[in-house]
Homo-oligomer: A and B are copies of this chain.
Amino acid sequence: MSGDPHAWAKELSTLHDHAWHRLIRGVHDRHAPARHPTLATVSAEGLPQARTVVLRKADRTSARLEIHTNLFSPKVAELKATPVAALHVWDSGSRLQIRLQADVVIAHGDDVADAWSRVPEPSRTAYSCSAVPGSLIPESLAYESTPDAAAFAVVHLYIRSMDLLHLGSQHRRAQFVRDSDWVGRWVAP
């Protein structure tokens, strides 16, 4: 209908377009919901783990996303064991839940020297070899955060499938998969 700000939810192609607009917005706008997705992985014991990450790149042509992490963090160990991640965004403004499943490739060292050079100085303290995330420390601030390029990793997420759920006056949900060239199909919400 004219005047419906969420008319994009009514067709598969515009719904898919909108989700990508919101993901790309997350890369460029630190206040956008897709700036801070939840990344879910599977631990070595086969159990779920979830934490906030920062979305660094979103490329629709290759259906690829990128995040940065400490190479020595548990999530990297988990992703080496099970190289598939789920990424979740709840975009309240769009009333849209974006769920992605992606194959993961982790790059570090020389392969990410360019990316490292573009990490702003204040952000580099997240990438330190001396304070392995999650390791026991005697006091709350008893950790060092000396930046170290060797601790910097880029996680490439090659999207397999997207599940989009719009909560409007009537709910709509669709799934889009790489193997079907992102054509999309409606599913029950």
Contacts and interface: CB of A to CB of B under 8 A. Distances in A.
Interface of A: 10, 36, 38, 40-42, 46-52, 82, 84-88, 90, 97, 99, 101, 131-143, 163, 170, 172-175, 185-189
B140 A188 contact: no
Contact of A40 (B10, B49, B186): B49
B84 A189 contact: no
A26 B52 CA distance: 18
11 contacts: A38-B38, A41-B48, A46-B46, A48-B48, A48-B85, A49-B101, A52-B90, A52-B97, A135-B187, A139-B186, A140-B172
A139 B174 CA distance: 10
Contact of A48 (B10, B40, B133, B185): B40
Contacts of A189: 131, 133, 143
B38 A42 contact: no
B187 A48 contact: no
Q: Which of A48, A90, A187 has the largest number of chain B CB atoms within 10 A?
A: A48
A186 B138 CA distance: 7
A64 to B, nearest CB: 18
Contacts of A142: 186
A136 to B, nearest CB: 6
Contacts of A187: 133-137
A63 B187 CA distance: 35
Given A141-B170, A189-B143, A47 B136 contact: no
Contacts of A131: 188-189
Contacts of A172: 140-141
Contacts of A86: 40, 47-50
* 3 pairs of A and B residues whose beta carbons are closest in the complex: A40-B40, A40-B48, A50-B88
Contacts of A84: 47-48
